[in-house]
Amino acid sequence: MAKKKKAKQTALLLTPRNPFATDPLMKKGGAHEKTFKSKRNKQKTQLRKQLAEYSLNSKLTIFVISFLSAR
């Protein structure tokens, strides 16, 4: 008698999974973004540039710029 080939049971066998893919710390990953502090500093510098652009000689602008830089 000829030997019968065993059918592969791929549906029943699970492939080995990557243990690092389900690690809880890895769920924190994602696209790298700027920190809140760097975003805020960028906003401040943009504001200072706009204030200097609109009225360079204004006393109010000088006061606001000095107030922001004191922070």
Residue 41: the pLDDT is: 95
The count of domains in the chain is: 1
* Confidence at 19, pLDDT banded by 50, 70, 90: confident
Residue 11: inside a domain: no
Residue 8: the pLDDT is: 56
Residue 42: the pLDDT is: 95
pLDDT digits (tens, 9 = 90+) for 31-60: 788 999 999 999 999 998 888 877 666 666
Residue 62: inside a domain: yes
Question: What single string gives the DSSP state of each residue in the chain?
Answer: -PPPPPPP-TTTSPPPPPTTTT-GGGGG--S----HHHHHHHHHHHHHHHHHHH-SS-HHHHHHHHHHHH-
**In terms of residue numbers, what domain contains 51?**
35-70
